[in-house]
Amino acid sequence: MRRALSCLRSAAEFDQYWPHLKSVPCPHCRATGHLNRHGFLRGRCEDGSTEITRGWRVFCSNRGQHKGCGRTHSILMADFIRKRTVTAARFWSFLAGILKGYDVAEAWEPVRSIFTLECGFRLWRAFERFQPILRSLLSRIQAPPQSLAKSATIHTLEHLRAIFPSDCCPVAAWQLRFQRTFAA
């Protein structure tokens, strides 16, 4: 039996995954044999000019003879963060600026593109709310590195970077590893 996924690397990986949906348990009701493709997750690209595919919807069928729950769930490409226009790479660039010692406004300025400073502050508040979950999951993989940082936030970012040192985007790598959205 395969595991229900919430993040994949690419559309090609989804093309390999979807023929096996019937052997995957629904993440809501845990029933197998009822999952069907249900369309695309679309959203605006970062500059807002065009619509892009960010992932796919999967439906647990409760129609006809099926005993599913009738709910849908999403499978995102790891380059995107659920309910955010900002990509994982842009979010990591922002967090890397914080890690270098910049304040929120200074860290947001080089990566902001068309986004306002308020967007940077919203992302920062979401990240701060997300830290307990992030820290507990990272600690399951390895102990936090020794740090002289006085801030728990900086220590968390150092821990994230230590676990995914070779990845250019630890946010996307984290989503793939834990099959959860980052800083929702």
Which tens digit of pLDDT belongs to each residue from 6-60? Answer: 889 988 998 898 888 899 899 999 999 899 999 998 888 877 778 989 999 999 9
Question: In whole angstroms, what is the distance from residue 169 CA to residue 112 CA?
Answer: 17
**Sequence letter at residue 132:** P
Longest dimension (CA), the chain: 61
Q: Helix (H, G, I), strand (E, B), or coil: what is residue 57? A: strand
- The number of C-alpha atoms within 13 Å of 109 and in the hemisphere containing its C-beta is 6
pLDDT of 184 strictly over 80: no
Q: How far apart are CA 182 and CA 95, in angstroms?
A: 12
Cα 55 to Cα 41: distance, rounded to the nearest angstrom: 5
> What residue segments make up the domains of the chain, in order of their start?
7-77, 88-178
Please give the helix or strand (H or E) that residue 99 lies within, else none.
helix 88-99
On whether the CB atoms of residues 46 and 90 are closer than 8 A, the answer is: yes
DSSP annotation of 6 reads: S
2 near 24, Cβ under 8 Å?
yes
144 secondary structure, DSSP code? P
* pTM tops 0.75: yes
Burial class of residue 42 (count of CB atoms within 10 Å of its CB; 0-12, 13-18, 19+):
exposed
**pLDDT bracket for residue 3 (50, 70, 90):** low
**Through-space distance between the first and last CA atoms of the chain, rounded to whole angstroms:** 28
Mean pLDDT of the chain, nearest integer = 90
